[in-house]
Structure 1
Amino acid sequence: MPQWISTPITAELVRGAIELEKTEYGVLPHRLGALGREQNVDGQLAMAEAQPSGVRVVFRTAAAAIELDVLPTKMAYVGVPARPDGIYDLLVDGELAAQGTADGGNVLTIDFSTGSRVTTPGPVGSVRFSGLPAETKDVEIWLPYAEITQLVALRTDAPVEPTPATGRRTWLHHGSSISHGSNADSPTGIWPALAARQAGVELVSTGFGGSALLDPFTARTLRDTPADLISVKLGINLVNTDLMRLRALGPAVHGFLDTIREGHPTTPLLVISSLHCAIHEHTPGPLAPDFSDGTVKFMATGDPEEVAAGKLTLTVIREELARVTAARAAGDPNLHHLDGLTLYGEADEAALPLPDRLHPDAATHRLIADRFVEHAFLNGPFAEKS
């Protein structure tokens, strides 16, 4: 048996989180600031921001064996087959070396039809990695993107020290469920994580499933988070929640960007519109689940005739985002726009259809990442200046 060394999990060992909350078990990574969490009254956002998409435990060690105790909160949905346990990705010196899952944990059961949410308590679990090279290396444990994860204890069979600063630029990204990770095969398979790795930047993700809704407290979190590069991907949640009308959209986008600029007046800021999604291209929300074939898919329930009265579709929002960013860019040379159809368009859907009509599969996450790197990091506003 290894001679275990326990190391407290502190902010020095966690990257990608906005804040760490101390709990009775350990620490809980958050991706929304404390004031925003206080002001938020929506259960979906509360769940999404506490799911650690892009969050990883990072350290340097010569350990051959690593154990991480966690208290996950796993999601279950009434009428939907049980979801597999979330995957933990272990990277050694930047390369994927192993994957694991954690047993135990709470279960949050959600009923789409009623909106009810019930949590069943469970025990602390562990994820273990062994057989690693017993030499000094940089280790990253990427946490499951769709499970709330309290970090309880870290044990290794050799001492741990914080990984030195990389000097890489920090990319702060905000978006909806696709940025959060929906249908990616693992936490490092989400398109922002893939893009960050290709581009050699440090990712901080505020991709909130179902919750990219121009909330002022989200803008303040972006404003107050250190970053060298910022992107915001907007559109799909505004349609599928049927949250606002066209009259409110432009001022809300201006206000969101104004707030970000209070903390980042000259930082490259890229506004990205929605990917292609056939059900909402010309049909407003709200969105509804469709269980007709025994699986969960989604459908738009709005009336296209109401677009003339101000209801939003993806087509309408793309036009408005292009208009707002063009108007602002006249006085803000570091503000840029990227049409989401460049990343995934109608022709792509024919080759790589969205399995549930809303979210991409793992191959499509890779496609989006490759195109984003091309259009933002290699030939766009995030390219490094010589």
Structure 2
Amino acid sequence: MDAREQEKTKSLDANMRVPVNSDSDLEWHSPLRAPFRITGLPWLEQDGVYRRLPVRPNHPLRPEVDRLANFTTGVQVRFRTDSPKLFVRVGLADKAVMYQMPATGQCGVDCYIGELGDQRYVNTARFDMAATEYESVLYDAFPRQMRDITLNLPLYQGVKELWIGVTAGSELKEFPDFPSTRKVLVYGTSITHGACASRPGMAYPNILSRSLPIEFVSFGFSGNAQGEPELAHLLAQVDDPALLILDYEANVPSMQRLRDSLPEFIGIYRERHPGVPILVVSQIRMAREAFDEGARNGREERKQIQRATVERLIEAGDANLHFFDGSDLLGADYQDCTADGIHPSDLGYSRIAKSLEPVLRELLAFEFLIQS
């Protein structure tokens, strides 16, 4: 469909148009300054940029991982305001380019209102898919009262600039603190990264962050989570971990690489965090497995490698290591839970989060962070 046909389609439904902001009664604020709180960026205070790994890591990164670290999946901006209007102004590193994922998930910002445990979706930014800069309204006619705001940043694009627009004279306050400074770290593939969620809030680490009152940090590296020792060293540098989730099976280039990388990764992390729970999650089912016995058997073999590794390390004395079989995370109708036969749809991500939540609650209970 060319640009003219796209415009014709938009003209049929006003709700599909990109609104033009004519509101001049706005004050713009950078979330890099108080009272805004940004989560999901452990090196933000050090580097001052929207990047999930350090700008100058002391362990070398493959170019692919280095680039993906600039994508803001799992990053959230939290604050309180009584503003009747809320806008965002975003400068992206590039435009939307993925065929199987909505532009709203790749490059959009979505908004939730409410306190921890009771956050409700409001809206997603609307913008020109061909643009690398946009300004969008998230709400514009609410009563003036204090609200807890959570913004989820783009899953598959870098953010160069971000500004929050509120009605002039509105109050801005800090979002209430989490019960603890500890964090849940999630290392994994494009599924951890958020492909193909329709909007940022539907990636499974972001869904879990609305249920569990603790900071989540997403180390999803689409197609490039290969269990490299360099990543184990970098993740070990994140202070105050409450839990590490390893969900990278689908990106390893071979069975032998999985056998070698998993105990090595865990061993490196254990050097600095000997008592932090580690949860190894095996891969979800792919749609083709219903017809492709080789694909099904390959996943089963990788699952057994991980299970056996975890059991062996537990027997060797690692009491805080756990395995979760991801085969049934999507449910019996798993074929209908993906956007492209591989990556979950919003339904798929919702099921993953719902299945993992009780496991995480149990593993985090000893920290007295989460009430059952």
Q: TM tier, shorter chain?
A: 0.7 to 0.9
Query: What is aligned with 1:87?
Result: 108
1:238-261 superposed Cα distances (whole Å, 9 cap, x missing partner): 1xxxx2442x43232111112222
Cross-structure match for 1:132: 142
Which residue of the partner structure matches residue 332 of structure 1? 318
- Matched residue type, 1:372: L
User: Which whole-Å deviations, capped at 9, do the CAs of 1:51-102 have from their partners, x for residues lacking one?
Assistant: 211111111222222232211222325xx48953433221222423522325
1:139 & 1:353 partners in 2: Cα distance? Answer: 29
Partner of 2:103, secondary structure, is coil
Q: CA deviation at 1:36?
A: 4.4
Give the counterpart of 1:41 among 38, 62, 68.
Answer: 62
2:307–2:323 contact (8 Å) kept in structure 1: yes
The AA in structure 2 aligned to 1:368 is I
Give deviations 1:286-342, integer Å, cap 9, x for gaps. xxxxxxxxxxxxxx9xxx9xxxxxxxx322221111111111112111111111114
Q: Give the drift of 1:193.
A: 1.8
| C-alpha deviation, 1:21, in angstroms | 9.1
Query: Equivalent of 1:271, from 280, 287, 290?
Result: 280
Matching residue of 2:97: 76
2: CA distance between counterparts of 1:365 and 1:82? 14
Which amino acid in the other structure matches residue 41 of structure 2?
A
CA contact (8 A) 1:176 1:209 kept: yes
- Corresponding residue for 2:360? 376
In 2, Cα distance between equivalents of 1:41 and 1:90: 33
1:1-386 → structure 2 map (5 Å cutoff): 1=23, 3-10=25-32, 13-20=37-44, 28-36=49-57, 39-43=60-64, 45-72=65-92, 73-76=94-97, 80=99, 83-85=102-104, 86-94=107-115, 95-101=119-125, 103=127, 124-129=133-138, 130-157=140-167, 158-168=170-180, 169-226=182-239, 227-238=241-252, 243-246=253-256, 248-277=257-286, 279=288, 283=294, 313-330=298-315, 331-344=317-330, 347-349=332-334, 352-377=336-361, 380-384=362-366
Go from structure 1 to structure 2 and tell me whether the alpha carbon gap of 1:132 and 1:147 turns closer, same or farther (over 3 Å shift). Answer: farther
Letter in structure 1 aligned against 2:324: L
Aligned-residue offset at 1:104: 5.9
Partner SS state of residue 364, structure 2:
coil
SS of 2:233's partner is helix
Secondary structure of the 1:50 match is coil
| Amino acid of the structure 1 residue aligned with 2:38 | V
Pair 1:81–1:357, CA change in 2 (3 A): closer
Match of 1:111 in 2: none
Higher helix share: 2
Residues 21 and 123 of structure 1: CA distance in aligned 2, closer, same or farther (over 3 Å): farther
Q: Distance in 1 between matches of 2:259 and 2:164?
A: 47
**Alignment partner of 1:34: what SS?**
coil
Distance 2:183 2:59 in 1: 26
Is this contact kept in 2: 1:282–1:315, CA < 8 A?
no
For normalisation by structure 2, the TM-score amounts to: 0.78
1:381 aligns to what SS in structure 2? helix
Query: For 1:255, what is the secondary structure of its paired residue?
Result: helix
C-alpha separation in 2, matches of 1:229 and 1:179: 15
Runs of 4+ in 1 over 6 A off after TM superposition: none
Aligned residues of 2:179 and 2:214 also touching (Cα < 8 A): no
String of CA shifts for 1:262-292, please: whole Å, max 9, x gaps. Answer: 23221111111111125578647xxxxxxxx
User: Structure 2 stretches of 5 or more lacking a match?
Assistant: 1-22
When the two chains are superposed, the root-mean-square deviation of aligned CA atoms in Å is 3.0
Contact kept? 2:40, 2:75, Cα under 8 Å: yes
**TM (normalized to structure 1)?**
0.75
Q: CA 1:230 to 1:41, structure 2 compared with 1: closer, same or farther past 3 Å?
A: closer
Task: Give the direction of change, closer, same or farther, for the CA distance of 1:202–1:217 in structure 2 (3 Å limit).
Answer: same
The offset of 1:210, in angstroms, is 1.0
Does the CA contact (< 8 Å) of 2:101 and 2:195 recur in 1?
Answer: no
**Distance change in 2, residues 1:4/1:221 (3 Å):** same
Q: Is the 1:91–1:141 contact (alpha carbons within 8 Å) kept by the matching residues of 2? A: yes
The amino acid across from 1:96 in the alignment is R
**1:141/1:372 Cα in 2 relative to 1: closer, same or farther (>3 Å)?**
same
Shift in alpha-carbon separation, 1:33–1:196, aligned structure 2, 3 A:
same
Preserved contact between residue 71 and residue 104 of structure 1 (Cα < 8 Å): no
